[in-house]
């Protein structure tokens, strides 16, 4: 039973390693999500500014066309003014000239405002273009570095799965079935007992059960959590996870 318990502990160690590497490989790509969101947000702001600039330019062209027509009408009104033959014609032509001059002046003021706004927007666009390009470069470099990290993790994961499969092959089928059931229910199947307390559920074991564990002639389960239990001081695995010599005396 001691040997099977050692094999179960080795399997559990391998299982934990596989889960950790699998979680790390799954979560790694998400670490770049904040950078992707920043890039998308900045790109969205840039698109909005470009849309405003396009609208302003379209409006400016329309106003410029109207201004050109107003100037033509002003020249026509000035011609009427010069050709006036009486006070009535002179007064009407004078009012028309004044109206056209005012209309032209108002339109020129509006065009100036739009031109200044467009210049300001162009400056913002240039700055944000640079920011977007810098973020895009950073994301590209980060994705390349992450691809290397992911490949390394996947290599380690593949090795860990091989080690886990080898560990499973050492466990008897009856214990393997119990182990898998406990992992599905509890997350892990084997728990140490320290000073008479199950470390899986922190319940103090009955003294008789603790004495049975000391003999290491059978694999017992915790009355509360159902995990396979063992006395930690009697079965500490070496750091490399290898099984201790089979002739190691149990106290």
Please report the pLDDT score of residue 250 as a whole number.
31
pLDDT over 70 (residue 163): yes
pTM as predicted = 0.62
According to the model, what pLDDT value does residue 73 have?
86
Query: What percent of the chain shows pLDDT beyond 70?
Result: 94
Give the mean model confidence (pLDDT) for residues 89-117: 86
Domains located in the chain, CATH noted: 26-167 (1.10.287), 172-234 (no CATH)
pLDDT at 223: 96
Query: How high is the pLDDT of residue 240?
Result: 46
Lowest model confidence (mean pLDDT) among 108-112, 218-222, 243-247: 243-247
* pLDDT for res 74: 86
Mean pLDDT of the chain: 88
In this model, does residue 170 exceed pLDDT 70?
yes
| pLDDT confidence of residue 63 | 84
Mean pLDDT computed over 46-68: 85
For 195-212, how does the pLDDT look when each residue is reduced to its tens digit (9 = 90+)? 999 999 999 999 999 999
For the chain, give the secondary structure using H, E and C.
Answer: CHHHHHHHHHHHHHHHHHHHHHHHHHHHHHHHHHHHHHHHHHHHHHHHHHHHHHHHHHHHHHHHHHHHHHHHHHHHHHHHHHCCCCHHHHHHHHHHHHHHHHHHHHHHHHHHHHHHHHHHHHHHHHHHHHHHHHHHHHHHHHHHHHHHHHHHHHHHHHHHHHHHHHHHHHCCHHHHHHHHHHHHHHCCCEEEEECCEECCCCCECCHHHHHHHHHCCCCEECCCCCCEEEEHHHCCCCCCCCCCCCCCCCC
């Amino acid at each position: 039973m001691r040997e099977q318990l050692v094999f179960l502990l080795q399997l559990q160690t391998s299982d934990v390693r596989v889960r950790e590497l699998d979680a790390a490989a799954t979560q790694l790509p998400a670490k770049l999500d904040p950078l992707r969101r920043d890039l998308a947000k900045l790109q969205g702001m840039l698109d909005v500014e470009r849309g405003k600039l396009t609208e302003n330019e379209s409006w400016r062209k329309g106003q410029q066309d109207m201004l050109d027509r107003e100037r033509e009408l002003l020249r026509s009104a000035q011609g009427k003014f010069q050709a006036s033959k009486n006070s009535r014609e002179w007064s009407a032509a004078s009012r028309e000239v004044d109206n056209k001059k005012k209309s032209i002046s108002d339109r020129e003021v509006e065009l100036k405002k739009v031109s200044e706004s467009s210049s300001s927007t162009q400056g913002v666009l240039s700055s944000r273009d640079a920011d977007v390009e810098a973020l895009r470069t950073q994301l590209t470099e980060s994705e390349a570095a992450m691809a290397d990290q992911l490949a390394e993790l996947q290599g380690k994961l593949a090795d860990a799965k091989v080690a886990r499969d080898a560990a499973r092959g050492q466990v008897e089928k009856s214990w393997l079935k119990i182990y898998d059931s406990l992992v599905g229910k509890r997350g892990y199947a084997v728990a140490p007992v320290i000073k008479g307390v199950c470390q899986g559920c922190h319940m103090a074991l009955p003294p008789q059960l603790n004495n049975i564990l000391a003999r290491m002639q059978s694999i017992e389960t915790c009355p509360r959590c159902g995990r396979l239990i063992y006395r930690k001081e009697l079965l500490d695995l070496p750091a490399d996870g290898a099984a201790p010599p089979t002739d190691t005396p149990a106290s």
